[in-house]
Structure 1
Amino acid sequence: MLIHPWDAARDDSEWQTWLAAHDFGQLAVNGLPGQAPFVQPLHFAYDAGRDEAVTHLARPNPMWAALEANPRVLLSVVDDYVFVPGPWQAAPEEPPEHGVPTSFYTALQLHCTAHVVDDPAEKADILNRQLGHFQPDGGSVRVAPGEIPYGRQLSGIRGLRLEVTEVRAKFKYAGKRSPEVRDRIAGALAQRGGPGDGAALEHLERRRTLAEDPPRTPPERLT
């Protein structure tokens, strides 16, 4: 993923705050020789303290052999995306029809080492962590091997711990445009009011002051 300096996350807190409200993505796994990669949509629970995401999948999923052959995976999360018409982006000295259309979006890529979990107690722990994230206000029960209601179903799944080794985050919201153009885009997003426009407008306004002093290189966190 190309990340220009003006689109890069300013620090870990920016992408971590965004990720805290996003828990559905696509897990990309390298295919076996001669095969295409596997891409699996899934819910996950990210734990900033442990620097890992946890999830589970059905045991018959066809990706397990490829995952065990190469545990290097990528968890991709994309949201807050909108289409921006060309005239919105035209420079003040240009005719509106000369503006270049583009996409606004937030994209986060977590490079991970995957750890397959088959131990029943460890799988139960992963499920409890997911339930604690997705059902924090009650309505969930503790999962324990052999105990109802979920204990007997543990054999039908395999757990995944995704140990995060690198993070690449991109917030593409007119960071290189002039204040006048950003103001025009902000007004147009507010007026259009379509799906995603509100979230894109919030990002554009939040990063407005940051655009005046872009970082020299896209920050990456390597562990």
Structure 2
Amino acid sequence: MLIHPWDAPGDDAEWQTWLSTHDFGQLAVNGLPGEPPFVQPLHFAYDAARGEAVTHLARPNPLWPALETNPQVLLSVVDDYVYVPGPWQAAPACPPENGVPTSFYAAVQLRCTAHVVDDPAEKADLLNRQLGHFQPEGGSSTAAPGEAPYGRLLSGIRGLRLEVTDVRAKFKYGGKRPTEIRERIADRLTERDGPRDGAARDHLVRRLDV
């Protein structure tokens, strides 16, 4: 992923704050020799304090042999993306129809070392950490080996602890454009009010001084 200086996060807090509310991504696993990569959509819980993300997958998932051969993986999260029409980006002295269209988006890529978790007690702990993230208000039973309702289901899954070794983050919201053009785009996003337009506008306005 190409990251220009004007698209880079201002600090770690920027991407960590964004990632804390974006917990669905794609796990890319190197394929076995001669095979393409595996790309697995999944929910995950990111723990900044521990520097890891945790998740789980069904035991029959075909990616396990590749993952065990090479545990270096990439967890990719992309959201708040919109299409920006060319006229919105046209310079003041340029005819609107000559403006160049582009995409705005936020993206975080976590390079990780994957640790497969098969111990029942450790799997239960990972599941409970995920429940704590996705259902902080409670309302569900906790997982424990040999105990209802989830204990008998533990054998059907394998846990994944993704130890983060590097992070690449990008907030592509017209950072190289003059303030006048970015403010125009913000106004157009407000007027269009389509899916994700509000989130994209918030990023654009927030990053005006970055």
Range of TM-score over shorter length: over 0.9
Find the counterpart in structure 1 of residue 147 from structure 2. Answer: 147
Find the counterpart in structure 2 of residue 42 from structure 1. Answer: 42
Alignment of 1:170-181 (within 5 A): 170-181=170-181
Distance of 1:102 and 1:163 partners within structure 2: 34
CA drift of 1:180 comes to 1.1
Distance of 1:136 and 1:2 partners within structure 2: 36
CA drift of 1:20 comes to 0.6
The answer as to 2:8 corresponding to 1:8 is: yes
Which segments of 5 or more consecutive residues in structure 2 lack a partner in the other structure?
A: none
CA drift of 1:141 comes to 1.4
Q: Could you state the TM-score of these two structures normalised by the residue count of structure 2?
A: 0.99
CA drift of 1:142 comes to 1.4
Which segments of 5 or more consecutive residues in structure 1 lack a partner in the other structure?
A: 211-223
Find the counterpart in structure 1 of residue 165 from structure 2. Answer: 165
Find the counterpart in structure 1 of residue 29 from structure 2. Answer: 29
Distance of 1:12 and 1:79 partners within structure 2: 18
Find the counterpart in structure 2 of residue 91 from structure 1. Answer: 91
Distance of 1:101 and 1:88 partners within structure 2: 8
RMSD of aligned alpha carbons? 0.5
Find the counterpart in structure 2 of residue 57 from structure 1. Answer: 57
Q: Deviations over 1:150-189 (max 9, x none)?
A: 0011000000000000000000001000111111101100
Q: Deviations over 1:96-153 (max 9, x none)?
A: 0111000000010000000000000000000000001111102111110000000011
**AA at the equivalent of 1:32:** L
Distance of 1:100 and 1:54 partners within structure 2: 40
CA drift of 1:2 comes to 0.2
**AA at the equivalent of 1:91:** A
Distance of 2:40 and 2:166 partners within structure 1: 20
Distance of 2:135 and 2:209 partners within structure 1: 37
Find the counterpart in structure 2 of residue 69 from structure 1. Answer: 69
* % identical equivalent positions: 79
CA drift of 1:39 comes to 0.2
Distance of 1:66 and 1:47 partners within structure 2: 25
Which segments of structure 1 move beyond 3 Å, counting only runs of 4 or more? Answer: none
**AA at the equivalent of 1:52:** E
Question: What number of residue pairs does the alignment pair up?
Answer: 210
CA drift of 1:93 comes to 1.0
Distance of 2:108 and 2:82 partners within structure 1: 16
CA drift of 1:21 comes to 0.5
The answer as to 2:17 corresponding to 1:17 is: yes
